Each structure stands twice: as C-alpha cells, then as structure tokens.
Amino acid sequence: MTSDGSPGALRRTGPIETRFEKELRELLGPRVDFGVPLSKHTSLRVGGPADALARPQDLEELQALLGLCSKLGVEPVLLGGGFNLLVSDAGVAGVVVQLQALRELDADSEGRITAQAGTSHSRLVRFAAERGRSGLEFGVGIPGTVGGWVAMNAGIPSVEVKDVVERVDWIAPDAGGIRELPRADLDFSYRSLELPRGAAIVRAVFRTEPGEPAAIRAQMRELLARRRETQPVDQRSCGSVFKNPPGDQAGRLIEAADLKGSRRGEAAISQKHANFIETRGDATAADVLALIELARGEVARRFGIELETEVRFLGRSPGEPA
C-alpha cells in the first residue's frame, strides 16, 4: 500500500501509517507486525522481510482478514510451518498470513480425524497413534502443517495425502463462508491440489482404520529411522527441492551429475541426499537459487531431463522496488 492507501508496498517511508496498516492493526491488534524477516519463519532460515505478517487467532478472524485484503486489493500469502518454501532476499510484498494458531484436532467415533490447517504433521500423526488409528503413519518425519500437506499432496512412494483425505474445507473472500470439498471433488496430482484461486485451506478430514497403538508406533519408528538414514533431517533445509520425474528420482539424477556437496555461499547440495539443499550461517536465498539452477542445468545437459521444482518460490524479484 502507498501512503494514501492504494495498493503497493506496505513498508513505511515515514511515521504516517498507511490505511491498510491502520486497518490491520484495528482488526488484529498485536497479532500483526510489519517488516518482519521471514528467515525466522522458514525452515531454510533465509529470506527478506514481509511487509506485514498477520497471525489470525481463529477462523472468524482469518475470514475477516481475507475480506480486508480483498477490499483493499492486496493478495494474501499463506504460511504454515515454512517448509517447502524459498523466500526471496528482497522480501514479500503485501500480507503474509501465518496459520499456526489454527491447530484444533478432533476424532469422531468412526475414526475420522479433523485437523485445522496449522496443525503440525507430527502432532497429527501422534494424535492418531495415541487413539489406535492407523493410516497416517506415512507422514512421520514429513515436515510442515496440515494446510501445506494437503495443498502439495505430500507423501511417500506408496501413499500420499490423496489416499487418506476425506474432505477439505476452504475459504476465500468471495466464497460466502467455509466451503467443503469431498474427496470425489478434489483434483489431486503429484505434489499438487487444484483449488479455486485465492482459496485458503482451513482444515481437512482424514480417514483412518483401527490398529494396535504399539504396532502403529513401531511402524512410525521404522519409517522415521529410514528417513534419518537417507535424508538430512537434522540440517536446515526445505525438504525435497525437485519433484521426481516419471520413472526416475531427482536425487539420483543430481548425484549422477556429480553435484553432491556443491556449494554456493553458505548453501550446499546435501552429501546425504542430493535432492536436498542445506543452509548454514548467513546463507541467502540467492545461494539456494544458484544451486537449484546449477542442478537443473546440469541434469538437463547430461541427461536431457528437465527437473521441476517442488519447493515454492515466494517474494519480490531481485532489484524489484519495495
């Protein structure tokens, strides 16, 4: 927003609040901040500031916030756990909406588990295991929150979110409240879910089956141990950088291109799994992006395969005015 309240950057050029800043403060109070570095809110720990970072406390406040964004012509950007995300060093224009306050979990007598979008994967999986409900074990060790999980159809080779989700609830400024989409109407594909433009996932309902808690926990331990053996789970990363091309694996191709351990600044292609980029110290988004382009270019040159990114890019282009 400019100082007269028209669409644009929200950063102040002086002590006068923009119209949008004023209305955000009136709506959210202490649950909105300005110029917040998103490096503090992403798993890679890189990225510039958000013009505004909003933290709605419940679904009603989220809906009011989306309505305000629509009224003033600002497109909100949703943020869950900050995984699978590369934020530009130049920051993000407009309003970033953090959903981590939306964490309600519930289970019914038929084994359906309802989780709000800000619920962490680990809490959801533990919740199911404690109740002797099987089917969500595959998610152990997959980082993120339910909203991101569903939006990217997270999973492992044998099972994905699309195989266990029964319903997805979403809202948008013009949706007239929370809308429900049953599984039959959900358009899932590999690492993607097609939703109406501007839709925000607010919760999902998962199908589960009865199981022995001890057996469920044993399977979870086995899956987590396998993940720890093969992926750099103890390092700063965004998860898998590239989608696996049909019939192959991105990590295998990057390793075959002799790129394991390649560095740019304070970022490196992981020695443990080549489809991960690790960051440390004062790494920048530009460091990570340089490695992404290196891997994509070398794999295309050597093998004729165009890798498609799984990580989501967010923010201003370098040099774009704030």
Provide the pLDDT for residue 125.
94
CA dist 140 and 80 (Å) reads 17
Q: How confident is the model at residue 317 (pLDDT cuts 50, 70, 90)?
A: confident
Mean pLDDT of 157-178: 91
- Residue 207 annotated as catalytic: no
Among 167, 191, 203, 264, the one annotated catalytic: 191
- Residue 191 annotated as catalytic: yes
Among 278, 296, 310, 316, the one annotated catalytic: 310
Chain mean pLDDT for the chain: 91
* Number of CB atoms found within 10 A of residue 153's CB: 18
Mean pLDDT of 277-293: 97
| Verdict on whether the full-model pTM lies above 0.85 | yes
- Among 90, 121, 87, 119, CA closest to 106: 119
Q: How confident is the model at residue 319 (pLDDT cuts 50, 70, 90)?
A: low
**Domains in the chain, CATH or no CATH each:** 19-98 (3.30.43.10), 105-229 (3.30.465.10), 232-314 (3.90.78.10)
Q: Residue 192 in 3-state DSSP?
A: strand
Identify the residue whose tokens are 């429900």. 180
Provide the percentage of residues in the chain whose pLDDT is more than 70: 93
- Residue 320 annotated as catalytic: no
Among 39, 120, 237, 240, the one annotated catalytic: 240
Please say if the pLDDT value at position 304 is more than 50. Answer: yes
Q: How confident is the model at residue 320 (pLDDT cuts 50, 70, 90)?
A: low
Distances (CA, A) of 9 to 4, 47, 312, 321: 12, 17, 22, 9
Mean pLDDT of 35-42: 94
Mean pLDDT of 243-270: 97
Which H or E run contains 319? none
